[in-house]
Amino acid sequence: MSIPTFLILIPVTHLLLLTIPLVVTDIREKRLPNKYVLPNLSVAFLATIATMFFGEWQRALLSLGIALAIAVVGLVANYFDVLGMGDIKLLTAMSLPLSWFSPFHTLALLGTTFLSSFLVVMVMIIGKRIRPDSSIPLGPYALLAFACIGGYELLGFFITGQ
């Protein structure tokens, strides 16, 4: 068992445990509470930094760079009212451990999140359930994608022990 992998699986497990409360809150209130998201962002950041002390500094720096890019792009999107701050914090928190395993995991997370939400919105607009200028909770789509990708890594850890 690799100590860096174990450290990175801590924020993955933490966020997987928060998935249901976050999805329910985001659907009901269209917000992702800081009391859930910020601790996970902190745990993910600290776990990523901690892996540097075990020789995984390249993976950690890549993960931190990708998370920073997501945060910056997210802030620009927030400025134009395209993305909420809770979504930005959540996606940044998700990207830290996923990018540590593979940058493609984060690409899959973002692609799946935005494609699935776009398709659902299009169906809802066509079915006249929402207007084109309506806002939707993005968290459930991101959390579903994270549960699949993060769950895959967590399951792989328990099966292979690596």
| pLDDT > 80? residue 162 | no
pTM of the complete model? 0.94
CA distance 85 to 28: 17
Please give the pLDDT value at position 157.
Answer: 85
Q: For 123-152, write each residue's pLDDT tens digit.
A: 999 999 999 888 899 999 999 999 999 999
> Residue 160's pLDDT is what?
84
Q: What is the pLDDT of residues 13-41, one digit of tens each?
A: 999 999 999 999 999 999 999 999 999 99
Cα gap 66→68, rounded to integer Å: 5
d(C-alpha 55, C-alpha 145), whole Å: 29
Read off φ and ψ for residue 8, nearest 5 degrees: -70, -30
pLDDT by residue (tens digit) across 47-61?
Answer: 999 999 999 999 999
SS3 track for 109-154 = HHHHHHHHHHHHHHHHHHCCCCCCCCCCCCHHHHHHHHHHHHHHHH
- Domain positions in the chain are 3-160
For the chain, what is the radius of gyration of the CA atoms? 16
